[in-house]
Amino acid sequence: MTQEINQDQFETEVLAADLPVVLDFFSTECPPCEALAPKFSSLEEAFTGRVKFLKVFRQGNRALAEKLNVTGSPTLLFFRQGVEIGGRLSGEIKKSEIKAALEALLN
């Protein structure tokens, strides 16, 4: 199961992470978030040991969402060595889009 972090854990879990990180900002009662969850979980299994998968509850971490300019849910951000890289994904996200972004993150 994907680890959920809060804004206080962001620096250690994301910015100081040894592995590349994909960060999922989600909301409750959000159909696109619910649709994303099983895709996120299956890709987490496929990329175990190569990419760290984390979730952040957007409404509970408004300061972090604002700092990162995350305005909707779900929004996926990709980090390598503490720097956001690549394009963000948001809204109705396809599994193939996430997989392509993860592969780019690893190259």
pLDDT tens series, the chain, 107 aa: 899 999 999 999 999 999 999 999 999 999 999 999 999 999 999 999 999 999 999 999 999 999 999 999 999 999 999 999 988 999 999 999 999 999 999 98
Confidence (pTM) = 0.96
Give, in words, the CATH class of 3-106: alpha beta
- Cβ pair 90, 72 in contact under 8 A: yes
Which candidate, 14, 23, 39, 6, places its Cα nearest to that of 73? 23
- CB atoms inside a 10 Å sphere around CB 95: 13
- Active-site residue set: 30, 33
- Report helix, strand or coil for 58: coil
Partnered with residue 78 across adjacent β-strands are: 22
